[in-house]
Each structure stands twice: as structure tokens, then as C-alpha cells.
Amino acid sequence: MSITSAIQQIKSELPSTVQLVAVSKFKPASDILEAYRAGQRAFGENRPQELAAKAAELPADIQWHFIGHLQTNKVKQIVPFVHLIHSVDSEHLLECINREAEKAGRKVNVLLELHVAKEESKTGFTPDELDKLAETMASDSPYPFVSVKGVMGMATNTDNEDEWRRCFRLIAAAAHRIENTLAGNAAKPMIISMGMSEDYPVAIEEGSTMVRIGSSIFGARDYSKPFTI
Ligand SMILES: *Cc1c(COP(=O)(O)O)cnc(C)c1O
């Protein structure tokens, strides 16, 4: 299936409350342009340098989403233009984004990442840690240049739909709790970023408002090739 028809097909199935982020990591600018011509504007990347290079090359009205683990020394590469960072997985990273956002003279939109999957390799806050962090940001936030728009999470990498559902329920429940804690400071409605190519229909049933879909749009990724535009 072509990129254009994959996008059209997925979009026709998404409820109007769910936004599509097309995950273009490891894919060339020409693929992104094809998706762009099909009307897609939100793209997700997981390496700062690749994101910055693509942003410089491609149309200025693309909204760039950062979805991978972000090292603090790479924050400044993306802060000046990134639309939404999905993967804030530590308070140290939050501090760093806040500092670079102040320098860049803009407020940066972020999602707080939850770790509910079974793999230890995945990163993010536990639900308890997330609740505590939301409390510290509720009234006089120590991170005034960061705007918390919601939460992001991934389900365990398994074929077991019940396990996906367990993860997605925890993520959606955490989003609703921190919406209450942040009260007047919360983005409404909160973004709940969950669901990838394999599991997004289940994520939507459990309350996702933003799905991150890569391989079902662009085909399988080749991780062995070094990145070129
Ligand atoms: C790569 C990636 C995706 C997209 O995965 P697909 O299975 O290709 O849809 C979604 N979210 C994150 C965080 C990713 O790293």
C-alpha cells in the first residue's frame, strides 16, 4: 500500500477526537513529503539530530513531535521549534527543558511519560511518581517555561491484548488524575498519547486521544542503515 493510501485509510477509521502522529523515524524526507501532500502535518521522530535535519529541509508548517528517550545534552537541538515532546521521563529532563525553553524565549509543550509496561528497558514515571510531580506543578510550577499537555505511554511488547488494555487503562487513569491535580493549570482536554501500529485500536477503546503510527504508514524500518535525508 502507498503512504498516501495508508494515511487515508487510517484517518478514515480514527474517531474525530483522536489525532494522528505519523512516526517518520529512519524514513527519508521524500516519504515525509508524500505524507505531507496527503494532508498529514504531525510527524514523530526519536533522534534529535535527525529531527533537526528534517525540520530544516521540510515545509515550515509541519508540527514536529519528539517521541524517543531524550538525553539532556540534546535538548537544545530541538527546543527552539519542537511542537510537543512526548517523552519527558524524569524531573531532571523537565528542569533541562525548562532552562533551554527560557533561553529560546518560548514555552515548550510536553507530555509526561508513564512506565506501566513490563519491560525494564522502557523509561518513564511510575503512576505514584507522576502524581507527586503533578502536585509540585499544581500552583506555582517550578518549570514556568514548560506546559504539561498530558501523558504518553507504551504498552508491553506482547501479543496479549489484555496486557495492552491493562497498560492503556493505567495511562488513561493517570491522565485523569493529573488533570484534577493540575486543575486550572491543566490543558483541557489532556492529551493521552498511546497506541502504535499494532495496538492503536485497543488504545483508542481505552481513551487515547493521540496515536503514534509508523510502520503501518511508512512500512518496516531498516535500523541497519545510517540516517541520510
Ligand atoms: C517507533 C515508535 C512508534 C511507532 O511504532 P510503529 O510500531 O512503527 O507504529 C510509536 N511510539 C514510539 C515511542 C516509537 O518509538
Averaged pLDDT, 48-65: 97
pLDDT at residue 89 tops 70: yes
H or E element at residue 87: strand 84-88
- Note the pLDDT tens digit of each residue in 171-223: 999 999 999 998 877 778 899 999 999 999 999 999 999 999 999 999 999 88
Is any atom of ligand 1 closer than 6 Å to the C-beta of 152?
Answer: no
pLDDT at position 120 is 83
Asked if residue 46 has its Cβ within 6 Å of ligand 1, the reply is yes
Instruction: Give the distance between the most distant pair of CA atoms in the chain.
Output: 50
**Centre of ligand 1 from the C-alpha of residue 145, in Å:** 27
Cell of 2: 502507498
Going by pLDDT thresholds of 50, 70 and 90, the confidence category of residue 229 is low
For 177-190, b/e burial (b = at least 16 CB within 10 A) is: ebbebbeeebeeeb
Q: Is 209 exposed, middle or buried (0-12, 13-18, 19+ CB in 10 A)?
A: buried
